[in-house]
Structure 1
Amino acid sequence: MSGMVRFEAAVVGAGAAGLAAALALAREGIATALVGRHAPVADGRTVALLDGSVRFLDALGAWATIAPYAAPLAELHLIDDTGSLFRPPPARFVASEIGLDAFGWNVESARLVESLRLLARTTPNLTLFESDAAESRRDDERAVITLQDGGTVETRLIVAADGARSPLRAGSGLTVRDWSYPQAAITTILAHERPHRDVSTEFHTRAGPFTLVPLPGGHRSSLVWVTGEGPARRLSALDDGALASSVERQAQAMLGAMRIDGPRGLVPMRGLSVSTPVALRLALIGEAAHVFPPIGAQGLNLGLRDAASLRDVVMAAREAGRDPGSQASLAGFGRNRGADARLRGTAVDLLNRSLLADLVPIDALRGLGLVAMSTLAPLRKIVMREGVLPRFGAPSLMRGR
């Protein structure tokens, strides 16, 4: 494609966060470009879409096509399997305690992306460029994206949703901190003998969390098994029967006999944060702005909050007659999203490191925290509500239908 095409906003990255951001803007009548090739990876990963994210997807008109492939997470059980001297009893969290049918809904990641992509193809004010971005230029007046196929896109605001290794972030001059953990995650889909009863179960082991999350049908679940890098590679090399037996043992046979019922993935554990998610005519969302281990279903839900918040920022700029890519328009987004990412990222990092530490004082603090949440109803409800959606600063499309 050749020639210059002009837009109010251009989203670079065709994953779930980028698609949601582009849809949210286009549905408000904002001329939006979505730049990126569509290449979903089948690696057994699922996403637990928390209640606020479901509300957002519903407002975009996407949830009706996703819901048939999603399973409710009505309860969350946390089981300490570290062997600690301060091992607390299992903690049980029930969505009905905070007035919800479910904390969220679990769906295969590839299915989510495909549903959003199909909607994007028919949404007015949204133009899809099936090409990666080669480079971008930004100045006080505009931003220009050069595509690998030779085309160019001019816009007032670039939304970087181009992933954990974001080229747009790398070229922005923003300060980035990244780190790795001595862990990797095995991901896959399981079929099992006993019903999951819409319960998500997370075992806290000394090597990391081992999590089983319901999928539709009652007898299928997704697995995220975080363990040491060496053990993860060895598990990944097992045939389906041997891996299923290992999962069954680690799950203490709670769901009975198991078999592998989907693709597998092996995901290194790493973390990343930025000093601020905004630069000149640039806003970072999703893993371009924050990366942390798959614990507590926070990763993509945080990215969807980024997308929904960006929609609010652009709409506020439009109502005030401001340039959506200006520093004044993006300042609030930077503060709000930066604070949310730091809070969630720190909580996940501390939990993960506390499991790896194998220190009695840390075990005692973690155990006391679980006991307090299990026995003190007001505290438990606060934690559940905050986990589902922040009380302050929640985007408008996530607050309610």
Structure 2
Amino acid sequence: MSDDPVFDVAVVGAGAAGLAAALALARDGLRVALVGRHAPVADGRTVALLDGSVRLLTALGAWEAVAPAAAPLAELHLIDDTGSLFRPPPARFVAAEIGLDAFGWNVESARLVEALRACARACPGLSLIERDGAGGHVPGETAADLPLEGGGTLAARLIVAADGARSPLREAAGLPVRRWNYPQAALTTILSHACLHRDVSTEFHTRRGPFTLVPLPGGRRSSLVWVTGEGEAARLAALDDATLARAVERQAQAMLGRMAIDGPRGMVPMRGLLASPPVGPRLALIGEAAHVFPPIGAQGLNLGLRDAAALRDTVVEAVRAGRDPGSAAALSGFARGRGLDARLRTGAVDALNRSLLSGLLPVDALRGAGLLALSTIAPLRRAVMREGILPRLGTPSLMRA
């Protein structure tokens, strides 16, 4: 174990959360290594980047490259299509009501990762290591050793696991994890359509899960996230493009006119995961290594980016105060704050999804009453919109207005 580690922080995992964490730390003069394969996958999946995430990407210098390929989400419409006796009228949320041009921006995931990669390649103090971590890390008194694929080790005062839902670092460290599954899957693809979306994201609540159309640039393209039963999702995925497009038109009640499939398809399992706590000896978990969400409510990656920004604040504060950034004391505040944020978001997404699947009249009544209250009580609606975009408590510095 090296007494003078080469790096202050080693981030393992080169997805969006890992790239953002490495950039946020390196821009403050820390010695940072980013370990992982730097190859985005063009699978047609998109991400709705909420306002706080856009602020972070702007601070990291990545937003300028992302913005031309992103579409604003100026309005969100929720439509109850469950057939419930307590069906509320459609709910409409407008970003301008809380002083924003848009709640967020929708962009293809591959474009986001490529923009962050370009920033990482140009960032002084950030070393890109095109290898995977080989198993777990070995924590010591002043640093941790990270074995690398193909041989050799890397020493850093803190190891950051951004290595995905099956995180080898988390598993090797033996951190406790709660896992759960839903009897659903999400079909994703990109659509072209005859009518303009007018920067409106529309979410239909059905008995099998949410069916969501999210704007893409150009006015006549949208991304689709269709959550439904596992068997039905498999059946839809097997359809030819023309037949699938007609099925989407029907489910969307023809609101965007005639549709065509305009990108690759994906299938996302509906599952959840929560690591508690999201830290271990000289180890911090971020992104899907710490929490996995079903693709509902645009929470997954936005929460991972908040992890990255919050970790930056924790590490920089420790280093400036002359403290060890990998110590249990330094990571305790990060663990509390990120654990609370993840639990709150997990609970909200889980409650919404299970309420749709329930079919019980009292549950339908509560959900309908909630949507009706949001539609008619302006102060409540504004408070919920603000909290949905970025929690007021513990907002990382790079995400603040």
Post-superposition CA distance 1:296-347 (Å, at most 9, x none): 1110000000000000001110121001000111000000000000000110
Instruction: After TM superposition, give the deviation of residue 69 of structure 1 in Å.
Output: 0.3
User: C-alpha separation between the residues in 1 aligned to 2:290 and 2:216?
Assistant: 29
Instruction: Specify the alignment match of 2:40 in structure 1.
Output: 40
C-alpha distance in 2 between matches for 1:151 and 1:190: 46
In the aligned structure 2, how far is the partner of 1:259 from the partner of 1:356?
29
Say whether the 8 Å CA contact 2:158–2:283 is kept in structure 1.
yes
The answer for the alignment partner of 1:339 in structure 2 is 340
Could you tell me how far apart the structure 2 residues matched to 1:5 and 1:110 are?
33
Q: 2:223 is matched with which residue? A: 222
User: Is 1:71 equivalent to 2:59 in the alignment?
Assistant: no
Q: Separation in 1 of the partners of 2:86 and 2:140?
A: 57
Residue 16 of structure 1 aligns with an amino acid whose one-letter code is A
Q: Which residue of 2 aligns with 1:164?
A: 165
Q: Secondary structure at the match of 1:120?
A: helix
Deviations 1:204-261 (A, max 9, x none): 0000000000000000000000000000000000111111111111000000000011
Gaps of 5+ in 1: none
Equivalent residues of 1:185, 1:224 under 8 A apart: yes
How many residue pairs get aligned? The number is: 397
Matching of residue 239 in structure 1 with residue 240 in structure 2 = yes
In 1, Cα distance between equivalents of 2:271 and 2:42 = 20
CA distance in 2 between partners of 1:254 and 1:200 (Å): 12
Residues 33-69 of structure 1 show CA distances to partners (whole Å, capped at 9, x for unaligned) of 0000123223221000000000000000110000000
Q: Quick one: which amino acid aligns to residue 17 of structure 2?
A: A
Partner SS state of residue 171, structure 1:
helix
Check whether the contact 2:71–2:217 (CA below 8 A) recurs between aligned residues: yes
Does the 8 Å contact 2:5/2:157 carry over to 1?
no
How far, CA to CA, are the matches of 1:173 and 1:140 in structure 2?
19
For residues 251 and 62 of structure 2, the distance between their equivalents in structure 1, rounded to whole angstroms, comes to: 36
What CA deviation, in whole Å up to 9, does each residue of 1:117-173 have, x standing for no partner?
111111100000111110221122211111112232100000100000101110112
Give the secondary-structure state (helix, strand or coil) at the position aligned to 2:198. coil
| Secondary structure at the counterpart of residue 225 of structure 1 | strand
Distance, in Å, in 2 between the alignment partners of 1:358 and 1:180 is 19
Cross-structure match for 1:188 = 189
Distance 2:207 2:362 in 1: 15
Amino acid at match of 2:138: R
* Displacement after TM superposition at 1:6 (Å): 1.6
Residue number in structure 2 paired with 1:115: 115
Q: Which amino acid aligns with 1:387?
A: G
Equivalent position of 1:54 in the other structure: 54
SS at match of 1:218: coil
Deviation at 1:5, TM superposition (A): 7.4
Alignment-mate amino acid for residue 125 of structure 1: G
Q: Which residue of 1 aligns with 2:152?
A: 151
Amino acid at match of 1:78: L
Letter in 2 for 1:152: T
Q: Which residue of 1 aligns with 2:96?
A: 96
**1:296 alignment counterpart:** 297
Aligned partners of 1:178 and 1:272 also within 8 Å: yes
TM-score scaled to structure 2, two decimals? 0.98
Note the residue ranges of structure 2 that are not aligned, 5 or more in a row: none
The 2-side partners of 1:378 and 1:43 are apart by: 40
Conserved? CA contact 2:188–2:224, under 8 Å:
yes
- 1:128-139 paired onto structure 2 within 5 Å: 128-135=128-135, 136-139=137-140
Kept in 2, the 8 Å contact 1:140–1:280? The answer is no
**Distance across 2 between alignment mates of 1:362 and 1:396:** 39
Mean CA deviation greater in 42-51 or 93-102: 42-51
Identity within the alignment, %: 75
Which residue in 2 is equivalent to 1:308? 309
**Segment of structure 1 superposing worse, 292-301 or 303-312:** 292-301
Distance apart, 1:353 and its partner CA: 0.5
2:5–2:143 contact (8 Å) kept in structure 1: no
2: distance between equivalents of 1:361 and 1:41?
A: 43
Q: How big is the alpha-carbon RMSD for the aligned residues of Structure 1 and Structure 2?
A: 1.0
